Chain A
């Protein structure tokens, strides 16, 4: 006990901040999901009415599937795009390695809103890409204010996180095994598919999960690039909280989203454990 005390004391500030900034608000959120709301007015209660209403609404089911599908697509694309970059950054012995790593995660230094505004300038009907296409006689392509725009923006948005997770996980890649494969006659492609990829699977899996979780909870990109056509759990929560003032619904949807993500993360952890066993 005496040994544990200093450790507990060291954890106390972080635990206090976590409790104040996360646990307490989440408990409050949980409590509010049982309130009743009428025309924006909050009525304190212990009622399951909001949960029942949401459970019976097929739109919530559709939004859930759309959110998960969008996040899965963007996480997959982000990992596919990030993997070669991370592998290069891991292997390169260039003096510019640090600089290149910073460049790869540079988007994180810019606010999400600013990045989205940049995409809007590029992808709009009068944007740079459509101007270029127009120069070759290609008619205007709707690249924004729809699902396409959100997929592009969100993939770019989560990619830096995927790169960081992959770089962190690539430490498990033992170059000697690759060299051994090559010495036994394996070509570069065979070595990549049969040695490199399997050895980096845990990193790929972790990067995908991180990008997926961020994708499910993303708000700015679907809201700003979706043109009002893309509904996700995050945009629904925003609309309920800020537009229709249905705070119990916003709280209930938040609790639902949290539980959903927790389940997915737990399932991923179980699968990873089983694969590792």
Chain B
């Protein structure tokens, strides 16, 4: 019933299941498209297939909400075995029984997974990648390199700033990080909203299109909020035209969890794949390629790659410990305050 309801709600034609029957020795992985897919296939799924003989079919899906829609529509007959999705969405999937609880007894590699990643998954699959919130800036047109979020409160930057507002997660993390810097408590946001109201008139867009990295690279804006992994990738692609900064006030993690879909027809292979994806080798390889910090404490990526993630010791101390389960409860109130107090003050 819920499956048909989901179809009715979203008309998610894009959640149509992989159009083939699953064969033995095969795993269907649902995860993000684009550069995430390209690099994940190169560094994780292909080596796994070569080592185990199990084929991995990658089913790219635009975002976590669509993944949740797919899981709901397929609840009675899952066509996906493993899913990588954002922690807040995974929490809903876990609560609805769409993905399996995982235990150390059944999956010993969990013992080596970072505590933050374990908490992110709850009783279901743990975090498989850590990404963190950054400021990006155009190194060719911005004369004074920024060091902190507070640098943006500068009238000279009117129309040169892109902030992704809630419900986008970036807006939530920005609010939490600023609140933490000001009060020591990421939930204490009253004075933060006053600060955000002050910067609002300088903001060109609260919803960067097609994405914030493109706007900065094309000099449509000088500064933008973003995620480290993609920003580092675009920094390399642009030969450093895109600057990436972990601002002085700190950052917050965005965590993708990996889960075995409940009722998977290839459960054993799915468990084997998740074990491999969480292994030190796979974690290090993906970090070296895409600068997501590893969630396995035994992973040993290159020093250069590690230095460009939040896992570097000097960066780790700047990570604000956001409890995402609590954030989900605050999200709607913050969303409304952004609209009524911040965006309303940022007319253009």
Interface residues of B, dominant DSSP: helix
Taking the complex as formed, is B89 at the interface, i.e. its CB lies under 8 A from any CB of chain A?
Answer: yes
Taking the complex as formed, is A213 at the interface, i.e. its CB lies under 8 A from any CB of chain B?
Answer: no
The interface bits of chain A over 1-43 (1 if a CB of B lies within 8 angstroms of the residue's CB, else 0) are: 0000000000000000000000011111101100000011110
The interface bits of chain B over 158-188 (1 if a CB of A lies within 8 angstroms of the residue's CB, else 0) are: 0100001101100000000000000000000
Taking the complex as formed, is A214 at the interface, i.e. its CB lies under 8 A from any CB of chain B?
Answer: no
Number of A-B contacts (CB under 8 A): 114
Verify A244–B167 contact, CB threshold 8 A: yes
Taking the complex as formed, is B284 at the interface, i.e. its CB lies under 8 A from any CB of chain A?
Answer: no
Taking the complex as formed, is B340 at the interface, i.e. its CB lies under 8 A from any CB of chain A?
Answer: yes
Verify A42–B96 contact, CB threshold 8 A: yes
Of B246-254, B260-268, B272-280, B328-336, the one touching chain A: B328-336
Cβ-closest chain B residue relative to A57: B336
Q: Which of A29, A142, A145, A243 contacts B167 (CB 8 A)?
A: A243
Q: Assuming A229-B347, A251-B9, is B220 touching A124 (CB within 8 A)?
A: yes
Verify B348–A227 contact, CB threshold 8 A: yes
B228: chain A residues within 8 A (beta carbon):
none
The interface bits of chain A over 122-157 (1 if a CB of B lies within 8 angstroms of the residue's CB, else 0) are: 001110000000000000101001100000000000
**Minimum C-beta distance from A257 to chain B (A):** 13
User: Which of A26, A42, A126, A145 gathers the greatest number of chain B CB atoms within 10 Å?
Assistant: A145
Taking the complex as formed, is B5 at the interface, i.e. its CB lies under 8 A from any CB of chain A?
Answer: yes
Verify A242–B9 contact, CB threshold 8 A: no
Verify B165–A228 contact, CB threshold 8 A: yes
Verify B339–A25 contact, CB threshold 8 A: no
Verify B8–A28 contact, CB threshold 8 A: yes
**Minimum C-beta distance from A58 to chain B (A):** 9
B95: chain A residues within 8 A (beta carbon):
39, 41
Taking the complex as formed, is A224 at the interface, i.e. its CB lies under 8 A from any CB of chain B?
Answer: yes
Q: Assuming A25-B11, A29-B9, A125-B220, is B348 touching A242 (CB within 8 A)?
A: no
* Complex Cα–Cα for A120 and B4 (A): 37
* Complex Cα–Cα for A44 and B2 (A): 9
Verify A59–B159 contact, CB threshold 8 A: no
B209: chain A residues within 8 A (beta carbon):
120, 224-225
Having A31-B5, A42-B96, one finds 13 other A-B pairs with CB under 8 Å, namely: A29-B8, A32-B9, A39-B88, A39-B95, A40-B92, A40-B328, A42-B2, A44-B1, A44-B2, A223-B207, A227-B206, A231-B339, A242-B66
Q: 10 closest pairs, A vs B, by CB?
A: A228-B206, A28-B8, A228-B207, A40-B92, A25-B8, A243-B167, A227-B205, A242-B65, A39-B328, A41-B95
Interface residues of A (CB under 8 A from B): 24-29, 31-32, 39-42, 44, 59, 117, 120, 124-126, 140, 142, 145-146, 223-229, 231, 239, 241-247, 250-251, 254
